[in-house]
Amino acid sequence: MFGGVPQTSGFFGRQRSASIAAVLATALAVAGCGSSPPPVPTTRPGDAGEVGGAAVPMTLRVSVDQPMRAVFSELAKRFQIDHPGTQIQLTFKRSQELVDALDQGPAPDVLVVEDPDMNKAVHAGQVSDPAAFASNRLVLVTPPGNPNHVATFNDVARPGTRLAVCAPELACGAATARVASTLAVQLAAALTADTASAVVDAVAAGRADVGLTYSSYAKGADTRVTTLSFPGDAVSVERYSIAVTTKSENQNRAKQLVDSARSGDGHRFMASFGFGAP
């Protein structure tokens, strides 16, 4: 005995020590294996993300109504930066055309269209959980400084006033007709444009004294025109909805894009391009 602790020596002592050492070594080895598990991918197949330190590439197809070309082109760039490995493929067409094309060829992952057309997609089971997220309204645009002193919608019908409007088959043309009917104003257009942006261009170039177009196009013109609202423009508001399509193969990432567009930052970003709240 030494200090109250039994001492062992010789073969048995060495054998016991070796056995204890072996047990400890085994326990440490097991503990070591448990503390360093192999990396586990956190993304689902088809969703971009970091796997083993490298971005998994994927393409997100997004179909967008034509008036949102500028804002979604920029939104896509920012989303790609925030989500490495994600490439966004944008398609811009008229709202109705985008919905009609849902059953033709590869389906988009995200659909952005006017509310009436989104309702058609909902009834056909082509999208899930759509949400209104932006609006566009009809406005008056004049040359800088409003030299002809246009103040109301009635002023666009004054004799001698050169008026530019959208073609009737366009959404902005239909909105113009609705407002004119609501306010009982007879319009005589001097110029009918094929696009809403062409209305702005005509006014900015001096080919028209006043034009009727959407607020997003007027905002994009910056200082080339003066933008005016008018009583009754509420009847001309177009509202847009966004949704993930039911055939999307990238549901998670598509939902992230939808959430980004609907967020507070998304609304502020939309406003910078002339779009209002839904």
Asked if residues 112 and 84 have their Cβ atoms less than 8 Å apart, the reply is: no
Question: Same structural domain for residues 81 and 142?
Answer: no
Is residue 117 domain-shared with residue 148, that is, in the same domain? Answer: no
- Secondary structure in 3-state letters for 102-135: HHCCCCCCEEEEEHHHHHHHHHCCCEEEEEEEEE
What CA–CA distances, in Å, run from 6 to 9, 18, 104? Answer: 10, 17, 87
C-beta separation of 160 from 261 below 8 A: no
For residues 163 and 210, state if they share a domain.
yes
Q: pLDDT tens across 195-214, in order? A: 999 999 999 999 999 999 99
Most confidently predicted of 46-50, 99-103, 231-235: 99-103
First to last CA, the chain: 88
d(C-alpha 4, C-alpha 26), whole Å: 30
Q: Considering the domain boundaries, does residue 205 fall inside one?
A: yes
- Quick one: pLDDT at residue 158? 93
For residues 114 and 204, membership in a common domain is answered with no
Residue 69: give the domain boundaries. 58-135+239-273
Give me 272's structure tokens: 């910078």
66 in the same domain as 126: yes
Give residue 152's pLDDT: 87
58-113 per-position pLDDT tens digit: 999 999 999 999 999 999 999 999 999 999 999 999 999 999 999 888 899 999 99
DSSP single-letter state for residue 199: H
Total of domains in the chain: 2
Please indicate, yes or no, whether residues 226 and 164 belong to a single structural domain of this protein: yes
- Average pLDDT on 38-42 reads 33
pLDDT at residue 44 tops 90: no
Assess whether 80 and 108 both reside in one domain: yes
Nearest alpha-carbon partner for 162 in 148, 176, 182, 180: 148
Digit-coded pLDDT (tens) for 119-158: 999 999 999 899 999 999 999 999 999 999 998 888 999 9
Q: Within a domain: residue 131? A: yes
Q: Is residue 162 part of a domain?
A: yes
* Average pLDDT of span 11-29: 38
Name the DSSP class of 161: -
Q: Which 3-state string (H, E, C) describes 167-193?
A: CCCCHHHHHHHHHHHHCCCCCCCCEEE
Q: Which amino acid is at 190?
A: A
Distance of alpha carbon 240 from alpha carbon 188, whole angstroms: 29
Res 3 pLDDT > 80: no
Residue 2 has pLDDT above 60, yes or no: no
In this prediction the pTM is 0.76
Decide if 43 is inside a domain: no
pLDDT score of 96: 92
> Helix-strand-coil percent breakdown of the chain, rounded to 5?
45, 25, 35
Q: 5 in a domain, yes or no? A: no
pLDDT(36) > 80 = no
Q: Residue 138 and residue 234: Cα distance in Å, rounded?
A: 8
Residue 3 covered by a domain: no
246 and 222 in a single domain? The answer is no
Q: Is residue 224 part of a domain?
A: yes
For the cut 70, the answer to whether the pLDDT of residue 17 exceeds it is no
CATH code of 162's domain: 3.40.190.10
Same domain membership, residue 131 and residue 62: yes
pLDDT at 163 over 70: yes
In a domain, 109, yes or no: yes
Q: Which two tokens stand for residue 110?
A: 């995200």
Decide: helix, strand or coil at residue 202.
helix
Boundary-marking domain end, from 205, 220, 235: 235
Percent of all residues in the chain with a pLDDT value above 90, rounded to a whole number: 67
Tokens 């586990």, residue located: 40
Beta carbons of 107 and 248 less than 8 angstroms apart: yes
Same domain for 243 and 261, yes or no, is yes
Judgement on whether residues 125 and 88 belong to the same structural domain of the protein: yes
Together in a domain, 148 and 222: yes
